[in-house]
Amino acid sequence: MMKETKLFQLVSRENKHEDSIVLVNGPHGPIKIGQGYCTIIAGPCAVESWEDYLEVALFLKQSGAHILRGGLFKPRTSPYSFRGLGKEGLEIMAEARRITGMPVISEIMDLRDLDSLYQQVDILQVGSRNMQNYVLLEQLGKIDKPIFLKRGLSATIEEWLLAAEYIVSGGNSQVILCERGIRTFENATRNTLDISAIAALKGMTHLPVIIDPSHATGIARLVAPMALAAVAAGADGLIIEVHNDPPRALCDGPQSLTPKAFEELAGAIEAIRPYAHNYGTPR
């Protein structure tokens, strides 16, 4: 029996002082996440159709995004909501990856989909609802693909780092943490964005930290200010929902930016980057 003191070890800053860099193997070679590279991941909540996804992907490519997002297997609160195109959507995503040359990220909910997602997706996302699915985490520790670990809806930072430890201790050190807002008493926003998690995590772990202002707020108008705050606070990047026609989105339309709003935000991010807080590691 191990004593319950040093809870997380491999992901701890004490164990490794230098910031970790996660290498994403995109179609045009590796992309780095970490050490303040400020990686922008963007795309719709879900892959909905060939036309919409390819259109928004091509737009995002020329407006400053580095990685494309798109849900295929969606965890929805209601079983009657749109739950993603599944394997059919994977073909659309693979085509967007091919024509844009951008790496892609999508959520894995079920280990039965691991083989097909592993073949076509560059980063596997573990959603908030699965942060404590330890069977899933253990299996993802055995593969050689970056894992994007979202914070659980009401997980403490320690619980979240312990979830990361499951993956890293299994042998996969390529873990990216994503703060996406936590449940609080506040209901003017969908969740409460824990900006302080960025600075707290920088002291506790060497893993990269990405902020998701879309799920954190649930309101498109709040996405740009929170994204800029996150960059200023020293986040290693952002994941932002963008839909070519948000009112028509099958999932998370109210929090999705229009392509034009995304383009403006990308410009503002570039302007603010020189002022981003530096935690003393190479940038």
In the complex, the residues that contact ligand PEP under the rule CB under 6 A are: 45, 71, 75, 107, 127-128, 150, 180, 215
**Which C-beta is closer to Mn ion: that of 66 or that of 74?**
74
**Quick one: what does residue 150 bind among ligand PEP, Mn ion, none, with the CB cut-off 5 to 8 Å set by partner type?**
ligand PEP
Q: Is 240 a binder of Mn ion (CB under 5 A)?
A: no
Residue 45 near Mn ion by CB under 5 A:
yes
Please give the sequence-ordered ranges of beta strands (E in DSSP) within 59-100, or none if there are none.
Answer: 67-69
Is residue 250 involved in binding Mn ion (CB under 5 A)? no
- The amino acid present at 91, given as its one-letter code, is E
122 interacts with Mn ion by CB under 5 A: no
Contact between 249 and Mn ion per CB under 5 A: no
The answer to whether 252 and 213 are in contact (CB under 8 A) is no
CB crowding 111-122: b at 16 or more within 10 Å, else e: eebbeebeeebb
Distance, in Å, from the CA atom of 239 to the CA atom of 241, rounded to the nearest integer, reads: 7
Nearer of residues 84 and 234 to Mn ion, judged by Cβ: 84
Least distance (Å) between residue 53 CB and ligand PEP: 14
The residue at minimum Cβ distance from Mn ion is: 45
Task: Determine the Cα–Cα distance for residues 245 and 257; give it in Å rounded to an integer.
Answer: 9
Where do we find the tokens 């193997």? 25
CB of 250 to Mn ion, least distance (A): 10
Backbone CA torsion sign across 165, 166, 170, 174: negative
Least Å distance, CB 6 to ligand PEP, is 28
Burial grade of 262 (CB within 10 A; 0-12, 13-18, 19 or more):
buried
Nearest position to ligand PEP, beta carbon: 127
3-state secondary structure of 27: coil
Q: Which is nearer to ligand PEP, 75 or 267 (CB)?
A: 75
Residue selected from 19, 179, 194, 252 as contacting Mn ion according to rule CB under 5 A: 252
Name which of 103 and 276 has its Cβ closer to ligand PEP.
103
Asked if 220 is part of the footprint of Mn ion (rule: CB under 5 A), the reply reads no
Based on the shown chain and the rule CB under 5 A, indicate whether residue 211 belongs to the binding site for Mn ion: no
In this structure, are residues 142 and 171 in contact, taking their beta carbons and an 8 Å threshold? yes
